[in-house]
Amino acid sequence: MSVLHIINKSPYDRSSLDTCLRLAQPDSAILLIEDGIYAVQKNAAAAQKVEQALANHQIYALQPDLEARGINPDNMIDGIALVDYDGFVKLTTDYDKSQSWL
Amino acid sequence: MATKKFLYVNRTAPHGSIYAQESLEVVLIAAAFEQDVSLAFIDDGVYQLMQNQDTSGIGSKNFSPTYKALGDYDVSKIYVEQESLELRGLGKDDLMPLTYEDEDDDWAEKDSIHVVSSKELAEIIDQQDVILNF
Amino acid sequence: MTIEAGGKTYETDEEGYLVNLSDWNDELANEMAKADGAVLDENHWEVINFLREYYEEYQIAPAVRVLTKAVGKKLGKDKGTSKYLYELFPYGPAKQACKYAGLPKPTGCV
């Protein structure tokens, strides 16, 4: 019974990512989309908790949203996997259910 | 129709936006379909269950008494995250008492509110079929 | 839409539910029933008054399943059946009784 947690809010604006990390089971995955993408940035205030989360969770980021925001993939925290829209759809079917944090 | 497990996740405070009231309305409507419904109150969502809310001074409907009707609608699994309460300086005593009558136990009145740790709530989320966020 | 009772005019929505809860009075309930070709007796009033009390306490009009259960508890088991309530309010106990009680359409009414 694993969950795909979807985060679409900036970690600097909302507590969605913090709450998700607090409530995600170790086998669940996290997908960053829309403004949730800002959590991928290296050397940023939110980077440490994302790096720690990578120990227990697969973390994905939606590439078109990354590109739209001008974030260089080289500045992305190591271990985060990029997915395109097809990959997004596949993730939602690979996991039993999705939890779209608001 | 097979019964599915529905979890309504509430993370917004009650009077600053329409989310809380809309969520409650959806829960009451969905309860008519006799599914297995649970509610989770996390982050500012815990403020929805505060005792003694009085909106008479702000000109909006006080929907907080409606939470007390949830038991009548057979919604009896209400999970409040301990960490969210603590962070806000709150405890269970600050929340409205919510109860239901247990059909399988000679209609004994029982507490609907369960204060749970993040770890317990993570497991509850994991057990659901459908998760809806407000 | 409007409805008249006791020489006064009150505003209702397109289905005949009272717009302002505080406008409600006995005479208005009788007029609403008359418009549906019904006459309210003490059994109707028992349910109408029960609904007003329920709304006062919970701020919602209960769904029919909830109403049936609650009426049984409050007014006696023989009255807590959908048969009894449908006989009193053939257009649907929650909808019709709520209308006469001046309440909005019940939440969770499908």
For the stretch A84-101, pLDDT in tens is 999 999 999 999 999 999
**Does B78 touch chain A if contact means CB atoms closer than 8 Å?**
no
Predicted pLDDT at C19:
93
Closest C-alpha among A10, A64, A85, A18 to residue A41: A10
Which of the other chains make 3 or more beta carbon contacts under 8 angstroms with chain A?
B
Name the average pLDDT for chain A: 95
Residue B27 lies in domain? 5-133
Residue contact A22–B43, C-beta within 8 A = no
Asked whether residue C97 carries a pLDDT value surpassing 60, the answer given is yes
Rounded Cα distance between C61 and C53, Å, is 10
For the stretch C23-74, pLDDT in tens is 999 999 999 999 999 999 999 999 999 999 999 999 999 888 889 999 998 9
pLDDT category of residue A26 using cuts at 50, 70 and 90: very high
Rounded Cα distance between A18 and A35, Å, is 14
Predicted pLDDT at A1:
58
Q: For residue C109, indicate whether it is catalytic.
A: yes
Rounded Cα distance between C79 and C42, Å, is 13
Residue C66 lies in domain? 2-100
CATH number at residue B74: 3.40.1260.10
**Distances from the Cα of A42 to the Cαs of A6, A75, A81, B118, in angstroms?**
20, 6, 14, 27
Predicted pLDDT at C95:
86
Phi, psi torsion values for B114, nearest 5 degrees: -120, 115
Cβ-nearest to B122 among A23, A97, A98:
A23
Rounded Cα distance between B64 and C54, Å, is 14
Element (H, E) at B120: helix B118-126
Q: Kindly identify which residue of chain A lies nearest to residue B8, measuring between CA atoms.
A: A99
**Does A28 touch chain B if contact means CB atoms closer than 8 Å?**
yes
Mean pLDDT, chain B cut into blocks of 10 residues (134 residues total): 90 94 93 89 96 90 95 95 96 96 91 98 96 96
Total count of domains within chain B: 1
pLDDT category of residue C110 using cuts at 50, 70 and 90: very low
Please state the rounded mean pLDDT for residues A38-60: 95
Query: Residue B91: helix, strand or coil by DSSP?
Result: coil
In CATH, which of 3.40.50.300, 1.10.1060.10, 3.30.750.24, 3.40.1260.10 is domain A3-101?
Answer: 3.40.1260.10
How far, rounded to the nearest angstrom, does the alpha carbon of residue A4 sit from its chain's CA centroid? Answer: 10
DSSP letter, residue C19: S
Rounded Cα distance between C81 and C50, Å, is 15
Element (H, E) at C4: strand C2-5
CATH number at residue C49: 1.10.10.370
ipTM > 0.85?
yes
**Does B120 touch chain A if contact means CB atoms closer than 8 Å?**
no
For the stretch A75-85, pLDDT in tens is 999 999 999 99
Q: Kindly identify which residue of chain A lies nearest to residue B119, measuring between CA atoms.
A: A23
Predicted pLDDT at C87:
94
Residue ranges per structural domain of chain A: 3-101
Q: Looking at C22, C98, C109, C110, which residue is catalytic? A: C109
Residue contact B42–A24, C-beta within 8 A = no
**Does A13 touch chain B if contact means CB atoms closer than 8 Å?**
no
| Residue C48: inside a domain | yes
Residue contact B62–C70, C-beta within 8 A = no
pLDDT category of residue C94 using cuts at 50, 70 and 90: confident
Rounded Cα distance between A35 and A9, Å, is 5
Predicted pLDDT at B63:
95
